[in-house]
Amino acid sequence: MASVSYAHRSAEQGILDIPNYGSFVALRPGNFMSNMMYLEYPKNDTVIDTTDADGSLGWTSPDDIAAVAAVVLTEDIEKHRDAVYELNGDIATGNQRVDIFTRAMDHLLS
């Protein structure tokens, strides 16, 4: 488990361990699309990735996370009481992401 995921899950558990905590809804997005270019921006014509080139990862738009949060916050809490929503968007392998970067930048990357 990645350290960020572990920290978030530990925080969730801390809330659940509070006596009479009420209700708690967790939104668990996968990788943020907005971080793709910020964290893994191609350097020296190479895309750096921490996963296998053929391994798939889900990418979620912050706008989609906000849309789900808006629904949860505006509907009756009883509808979502203690729910956990795993949010994942488009699935892409490392190789597919390199192809996307290459097309978007009109520049061959590896």
In this predicted model, what pLDDT tens digit does every residue of 78-104 receive, in sequence order?
999 999 999 988 888 888 888 887 888
- Report yes or no on 97 lying in a domain: yes
> CA-to-CA distance for 56 and 49, rounded, in angstroms?
12
Residues 42, 87 contacting (CB under 8 angstroms): no
- Report yes or no on 14 lying in a domain: no
pTM, to two decimals: 0.72
49 has pLDDT over 50 = yes
- Report yes or no on 30 lying in a domain: yes
- Report yes or no on 12 lying in a domain: no
> CA-to-CA distance for 110 and 98, rounded, in angstroms?
6
57 has pLDDT over 80 = yes
Which among 61, 68, 62, 53 is positioned nearest to 110, based on CA atoms? 53
- Report yes or no on 18 lying in a domain: no
* pLDDT in the model for residue 106: 79
